[in-house]
Structure 1
Amino acid sequence: MDGQLSPMPEDWQRALAIVAHPDDLEYGAAAAIARWTTAGREIAYLLVTRGEAGIDTMDPAEAARVREAEQRASAAVVGVEAVEFLDHRDGVIEEGVALRRDLAAAIRRHRPELVITLNQHETWGPGFWNTPDHRAVGRAVLDAAGDAGNRWIFTDLADEGLTPWDGVRWVAVAGSPEPTHAVEVGEEDVERAVASLAEHRAYLTALSDEEPAEYARGFITGMLETSAGRTGGRRAVTFQVYPRG
């Protein structure tokens, strides 16, 4: 964790953010996404599940409805209108060919230059184990970025009108314990990130006794302060960037 982080690449226009659950992006990348959409970048979200297993006190069918609505509201706060959901089961996402195909299809459909995902490593840092869903989706995203451009993998997608897309230039992993790059964010970006996380009201209310806005502010500001030592003291969102091509 020593040394200054590099600035994120800026020569792109379209991004697709792929994560396992509603709230995953709000816990890591939302301030950077707010900055990018303000600058006119096009960003879409793809959620592999609806987070139906995430609230212990709520029936999964009801939780799926509530959390989908919260995610759409949360995305709108940071300027993202396109929010899509797959139907993989929350908590038991299976890493493998079926997941890679679904993600490759989405990449071909959206044709992004940048793909964003969440930490695929076994831990968040020393002593903090990552969840199976995060690990499975993060690794599948890294694989699917290549699958999307190979015409001889998932050939049936072309029959559905999804022609190969080999235009993904980077995969950026938010929340990685091994960051390589950072996106400097301003006060407005931070405020929108806080408001975006706070939109997950039902989830945060079940998670903590703190009021959602208070909880969100504490988490977001704490995350940004943690990275300041490697960004010259400036507030920034960190990513582990995997270049492609």
Structure 2
Amino acid sequence: MTEPMNDRLKPMPEDWRRALADPDDLEYGCAAAVAAWTGGGREIAYVLATRGEAGIDSLEPDVCGPLREREQRASAAVVGVSTVEFLDHRDGVIEYGPALRRDIAAAIRRHRPELVITLNHCDTWGGVAWNTPDHVAVGRATPDAVADAGNRWIFPELAARGLEPWNGVRWVAVAGSSTPTHAVEAESGLDRAVRSLLEHRTYIEALTQEEPETYARSFLTSRAQAVGKHFGGKPAVAFELFGR
């Protein structure tokens, strides 16, 4: 991920109570913001497109999926999130299209958030670091699904299932953007963010030879400090914010 390009990041809006976060890899930055928000009494639900079953080369998907689901639920609990849902798209081969939009729109109608959080939908992280197809597909589908959630004539089968339209989303926040516009302080939630990432121990141990806590704390602290240079000098999490 690249350092934010804007010289000054604006504070994230605070006049909301419910959020829905649907990016993969929530713990690589977003968790500190989530911890700060839930600590202030806000409600946040996690909805993940996959169970991450293709994410560890040494584990078969039918073993890896349940393990990563358990780690994800434990990770969410550390930052005050009790609702974690999986949409059961296949890990690694998510396709942008009506099926993905419908599933995210259904989640938005279920949870009725004011803020929706997703991940960088661009081909790269702002330089030569290539993004993953799943991130691109989900990040691209989410703003479209926000509009779909408020339109009763798109996916009318959702209303037939009791999921009435919800047009109350006021913002979509994109994490991991190379052109962020806003930020939220991360200092109060940073320790919990580190513990949240550490709950993904199996994944981390497969990813790096570095000691897991050293890896998690170094990664999250350096990212928060880099954003903080553009946000009053305090550790922060950056977002590109789109109003509706």
Output the TM-score relative to the length of structure 1: 0.96
Deviation at 1:3, TM superposition (A): 2.0
1:166 match: secondary structure: coil
Deviation at 1:126, TM superposition (A): 1.1
1:125 match: secondary structure: coil
Specify the alignment match of 1:7 in structure 2.
11
How far apart are the structure 1 equivalents of 2:121 and 2:242?
A: 12
User: Does 1:212 find its partner at 2:212?
Assistant: yes
How far apart are the structure 2 equivalents of 1:60 and 1:144?
A: 28
Specify the alignment match of 1:93 in structure 2.
94
1:237 match: secondary structure: strand
Report Cα offsets for 1:189-221 as digits up to 9, x if no partner.
100000000110000000011122111101101
Specify the alignment match of 1:52 in structure 2.
53
Deviation at 1:31, TM superposition (A): 0.2
Specify the alignment match of 2:106 in structure 1.
105
Q: Which runs of 4+ in 1 moved over 2 A?
A: none
Which residue identity lines up with residue 8 of structure 2 in the other structure?
Q
Say whether the 8 Å CA contact 2:36–2:189 is kept in structure 1: yes
Segments of 5+ residues of structure 1 without an aligned counterpart are none
Specify the alignment match of 1:141 in structure 2.
142
Segments of 5+ residues of structure 2 without an aligned counterpart are none
1:31 match: secondary structure: helix
How far apart are the structure 2 equivalents of 1:3 and 1:89?
A: 39
Output the aligned Cα RMSD: 0.8
Say whether the 8 Å CA contact 2:6–2:179 is kept in structure 1: no
Which residue identity lines up with residue 95 of structure 1 in the other structure?
Y
Q: Map 1:227-242 to 2 at 5 A.
A: 227-242=227-242
Deviation at 1:228, TM superposition (A): 2.0
Say whether the 8 Å CA contact 2:6–2:181 is kept in structure 1: no
How far apart are the structure 1 equivalents of 2:185 and 2:194?
A: 16
Specify the alignment match of 2:119 in structure 1.
118
Specify the alignment match of 1:81 in structure 2.
82
Specify the alignment match of 2:225 in structure 1.
225
How far apart are the structure 1 equivalents of 2:41 and 2:150?
A: 26
Deviation at 1:229, TM superposition (A): 1.9
Say whether the 8 Å CA contact 2:186–2:224 is kept in structure 1: no
How far apart are the structure 2 equivalents of 1:104 and 1:192?
A: 30
How far apart are the structure 2 equivalents of 1:63 and 1:164?
A: 35
Q: Percent identity?
A: 65
How far apart are the structure 2 equivalents of 1:157 and 1:66?
A: 31
Specify the alignment match of 1:189 in structure 2.
189
1:214 match: secondary structure: helix
Number of paired residues? 240
Deviation at 1:97, TM superposition (A): 0.4
Deviation at 1:121, TM superposition (A): 1.2
